[in-house]
Amino acid sequence: MKNFKTIRALRACCMKIGALLLITTLLAGCGPFGGASTAPTAQPTRTPLPTFTPTAVVVATATVALAAVEQAVAADAPLLLPTDTPATVATPTPEAAPPPQLTIASEAVNVRAAPSTDAALVGMATAGQQFEVTARTPAGDWWQICCVNGAKGWVFGELASVTNGETAPVASDLPAVAEVPPATAAPIAVPVEATPEAPGEAPTEAAPEVVAEAPPAAAPAPDPAASSAGWFDPNAQYQIVHFKVLGLDENNGGIRDSSAQHLIMLTVLDANGNGVDGAVVRNLVGDKSEVVTGAKGPGKAEITMYYEPFKLAVASDPSGAVTSQVSNQMGLIFPHLPDIVGKLGDENYEYGACPTLDIKCEWPLAAIHFSYEITFQKVK
């Protein structure tokens, strides 16, 4: 009986030891009490994103304003609230005035190197052409323009219209212009006292004193560039007694053929109708060239026309300097238009010009050949 109890006690003790070993084994297989453990996986650290904190401008301004109101009320002082700064408004820059501009008003105008009709010719401008004004004379009667034939030149003011001319600078260092001498006063008659007569002699009447009168001043010649028309002074020594345009039916080769003439056939006669050799005939416009008569026969000369216009006058003959009438302007490009009306074909001729003044009759003419005959005769 005693052994039986001992066996039961040993069995219970073994069961407790087995249970304890089982629990120990189970606890060793998990948790930190077991063998090798797996290291925990590192978790990524989140970086917090910046957040936008609005600036409380309006709230701060309102807070400041409210504090100012409270302080003013407490101190019984006038309320001074902050005021808005007015925005700066940009003042618009005034636009620059347009540059002065000149428009040619006459049919043909000479452009000169200086503001004088005696200055060298730079070129010619025609009606409607426009130029920039670069200067003016102090009197405002001449305008410097840019450019004719690549150079600046001067135009007489009455032959053109100018806009914004008051903005043009006044030119300095201008060449001196010859002044017209003042008119000479007519001599005044001084009374002559009578010589006392000797006693017994009959008184003699004093002869009336003859007082010389100054001759009337001659009218000044117009500027040849002012118009294409000539100047027909009845008091000139040489006067134009013949003038003719050789056109479609009279010019050798017509007006469109390359062999057609384009000449000025010139004759200078004396009072008896004889040719005058050695007379100098001058072109008053264009290139201001001169030709001497005698090369083409007694008193005759020829001028070949191209681009330049011609207004002719006799400048001298073997007796010396002379006065002369001035022809209408001649030329292939800028002729005096009334002279060629009806001479270069009628309205039905396709290649003609100036059947009337209103039809195909304006400067510059182009690709048309014609000629002139002109005769000067000395009458005084």
Lowest mean pLDDT among 130-134, 193-197, 271-275, 347-351: 193-197
Rounded Cα distance between 254 and 370, Å, is: 8
CATH 2.30.30.40 domain position(s) in the chain: 101-167
CATH code for the domain defined by 227-380: 2.60.40.1120
In the predicted structure, residue 35 carries a pLDDT above the cut 50: no
- Output the furthest CA–CA distance in the chain (Å, rounded): 235
Global pTM? 0.47
Confidence of residue 264 (pLDDT cuts 50, 70, 90): very high
CATH 2.60.40.1120 domain position(s) in the chain: 227-380
Lowest mean pLDDT among 41-45, 87-91, 219-223, 278-282: 41-45
Smallest CA-to-CA distance from 325 within 246, 216, 242 is with 242
Share of the chain above pLDDT 70, in %: 65
On the 0-12 / 13-18 / 19+ scale of CB atoms within 10 A, 212 is exposed
Q: What pLDDT is stored for residue 307 in this prediction? A: 86
Confidence of residue 322 (pLDDT cuts 50, 70, 90): very high
State the CATH class of domain 101-167.
mainly beta
Lowest mean pLDDT among 75-89, 115-129, 151-165, 214-228: 75-89
Q: 342's torsion region: left (phi>0), alpha (psi -120 to 50) or beta?
A: left
277 close to 294: Cβ distance less than 8 angstroms: yes
Q: What average pLDDT does this structure show over 273-300?
A: 95
Q: What pLDDT is stored for residue 200 in this prediction? A: 53
Confidence of residue 248 (pLDDT cuts 50, 70, 90): confident
Q: What are phi and psi of 222, to 5 degrees?
A: -70, 160
Q: What pLDDT is stored for residue 212 in this prediction? A: 42
Q: What average pLDDT does this structure show over 300-322?
A: 95
Rounded Cα distance between 233 and 313, Å, is: 11
Smallest CA-to-CA distance from 108 within 370, 363, 325 is with 363
More confident residue, 56 or 364: 364
